[in-house]
Amino acid sequence: MKSLVEIADLSKIYQRGNQRIEVLHHLDFNIPREDFVALMGPSGSGKSTLLNLLGGLDKPTAGSIEIDGCRIDALDEEALADWRAAAIGFVFQFYHLMPALSAWRNVEIPLLLARLSARDRRRRAETALKLVGLAERSAHKPGELSGGQQQRVAIARAIVSDPLILMCDEPTGDLDRQSADDIMALLKTLNRDHGKTIVMVTHDPRAAQYAKRVLHLDKGTLVERAACPEFEEAVQ
């Protein structure tokens, strides 16, 4: 069966003046549907660059990225934006919520790009908030929520348009241990019970334990493909 994500000979080179910085070197790997992949590695290893490429936020220097049959490296900026809206949900380390908007208004934002009535948008946003356990805080603004709650709102925003993949960039990086565990448990539930494919960049080995697989990047090379045998135990 064809994988959801197929990466072939993927390279990314940044040019800084006369300096040529090769961030990713000829990567080849696949991500099957309903996988939960943790991307780990030291700073500067290329984790975030890879996540940006998979999420259609940046373009590779060479190689191809095919997601659900779509060669996203060949799309122009506008088509890429439309593709992101339909296929990808993003979760950031610092949540990046709109401070002036309530929780449900924040969750509604991706739906503004869809042809939905205001009532449908509201209904879907409320459903997403319920799924992350924040139904009763839907009218609160980000400033009135804890860090963990804000990240739940961000996850609700990421899943509200039912994307193919969730791209999570250090989703627990700004949270205390308890909140981090709660967020990882939520992501695990989304993966296990709702079949969401998740790609997560993390420095945190404890967070990585929630993933089905861990990919280690070092100096732009995929140096290790580690399964996570303790996964089931760790998240029980």
Partner 1 sequence: MTLASIIACFMLFGILDSVRNTFLNFGKTAAGNQRLLVMPKMISGARLPVGLGLSLATVPSVRLLEHASVFTGSYQDPKNSIIIEAHTPAFFSLYPELAVAPQYLTALRNTRTGVLVGEALAREYGWKIGDKLPLTSSTLRTDGSDSWTFDVVGTFHFTDPNMQQWDSQVFINWDYFDEARALDKGTVSWFITEARSAADVDRLARALDAMSANSDHETKTQTENMFMAAQLQQLGNVGTIVVAVVSAVFFTLVLIAGHTMAQAVRERLPEIAVLKTLGFTGPRVFTLLLGETLALLVTGSMLGLTLAALTILTLQSALSASVPLVIASVGAVAWVRGSGLAIFIAVLVGTIPAMRGMRLRVIDALAGG
Sequence-ordered list of residues with C-beta below 8 angstroms from that of 162, at least 6 positions apart, any chain: none
Locate tokens 């900026």: which residue?
77
Q: Distances in Å between the alpha carbon of 116 and those of 89, 96, 120, 121, 133? A: 18, 24, 6, 6, 24
Q: Is residue 57 involved in binding partner 1 (CB under 8 A)?
A: yes
For tokens 């839907």, the residue is 138
- Binding to partner 1, residues 62-121 (CB under 8 A): 77-78, 81-86, 90, 92, 94, 96, 98, 109-110, 113
| Three-state DSSP class for residue 64 | strand
Closest approach, Cβ 55 to partner 1, in A, equals: 8
- 27, 38, 47, 55: which one binds partner 1 (CB under 8 A): 55
Range in contact with partner 1 (rule: CB under 8 A) among 52-60, 65-73, 138-146, 206-214: 52-60
CB atoms within 10 A of CB 18: 5
Q: Which of residues 172-211 bind partner 1 (CB under 8 A)?
A: none
Minimal distance in Å, beta carbon 10 to partner 1?
Answer: 16
> Minimal distance in Å, beta carbon 12 to partner 1?
11
By beta-carbon proximity to partner 1, the closer residue of 14 and 177 is 14
Per the DSSP assignment, residues forming a β-bridge with 201 are: 39, 169
Q: Which is nearer to partner 1, 49 or 209 (CB)?
A: 49
In the complex with partner 1, which residue's Cβ is closer, 113 or 223? 113
Q: Which of 12, 47, 121, 157 binds partner 1 (CB under 8 A)?
A: 157
Smallest separation (angstroms) from partner 1 to the CB of 196 = 17
Cross-strand bridge partners of residue 165: 88, 197
- Among residues 3, 8, 43, 13, the alpha carbon closest in space to that of 27 is found at 8
| 124/157 with CB nearer partner 1 | 157
Residue placing its CB nearer to partner 1 in the complex, 41 or 163:
163
State the residue for tokens 């996850």. Answer: 155
Beta bridge mates, 40: 216
Token pair 């790609």 is at which residue? 199
Q: What is the strand order of the sheet 213-218 is part of?
A: 88-91, 165-169, 197-201, 36-40, 213-218, 221-227
Nearer to partner 1, 85 or 116 (CB): 85
Tokens of 204: 């945190």
Q: Is 135 in the site for partner 1 (CB under 8 A)?
A: no
Residues that bind partner 1 (CB under 8 A): 52, 55, 57-58, 77-78, 81-86, 90, 92, 94, 96, 98, 109-110, 113, 157
